[in-house]
Amino acid sequence: MQQITVQLLIAMTLVLLHHTNAYISLLRSTLRVTEPRSTALRMSKGKAAAEKVRVRLLVDVKGTGQKGDILMIGASVYLNSLLPKKQAEKITDEQFLKLEENAKVVAAQKLGLAGSCGEKIAAEAAVVQVKMKIGKEGKLFGSISLKAIMSSLRSKVPLIDGLDEKEVKLIELKDEKGADLLKAGEIRTAGAYACKVQLHPAIAPQPFIFEIVSE
């Protein structure tokens, strides 16, 4: 009788273990389905945040760039900020290649034009002369600014107007004694002044003389 009871207890224990293992298996199966979905969602969000897209700015955007700039930025920034505000447009790889080709053509044209301007200055504007009222000891009635000097040069060589305004600038201004007047930004005395103008970053600055004579 005792042996039968022991066998019965063993059988009941095995049945209970079987059901327990089945429950555990079911639970594990459920977890295997749920966890990857959550992980995939997190990975998807992370991927979207890390993804980059190429865009062209349609307006100046503070902290990002200026109108016309082509940039690689986060997809989320483009979709959530720049696109709704119509501040940028997406650029495909094909469009980017075309823009690159056009940019190379334009850059070559600007370089060639800058070279022509330099030759013009050397041939026709080596001395840019202006007439003004001059007082005692050669003092001018007023002053001549850097902008006025460049305006006089442009009038002698109109080709300069075809160059990038941001690249064309006076980079040297010295009086007859060699004193640097560029920081002062103006001339107050008649005489001849040694100048250099930058026409293009890839071309050496072009020298010329700016001379102020009496009317």
Backbone angles phi, psi at 165, to 5 degrees: -60, -30
Distance CA 138, CA 142 (A): 12
What structural domains and CATH numbers belong to the chain? 117-214 (3.10.430.100)
Query: What's the pLDDT tens digit per position in 66-100?
Result: 998 999 999 999 999 999 999 999 999 999 999 89
Contact 88, 55 (CB under 8 A): yes
C-beta atoms surrounding 1 within 10 Å: 4
Distance CA 210, CA 114 (A): 20
Burial (CB < 10 A; 0-12, 13-18, 19+), residue 110, is: middle
DSSP state of 82: I
pTM value is 0.63
Mean pLDDT, the chain, rounded, equals 82
pLDDT band for 28, please (50, 70, 90 cuts): very low
Number of helices (H) and strands (E) in the chain: give both, helices first: 4, 9
Query: What's the pLDDT tens digit per position in 51-63?
Result: 899 999 999 999 9
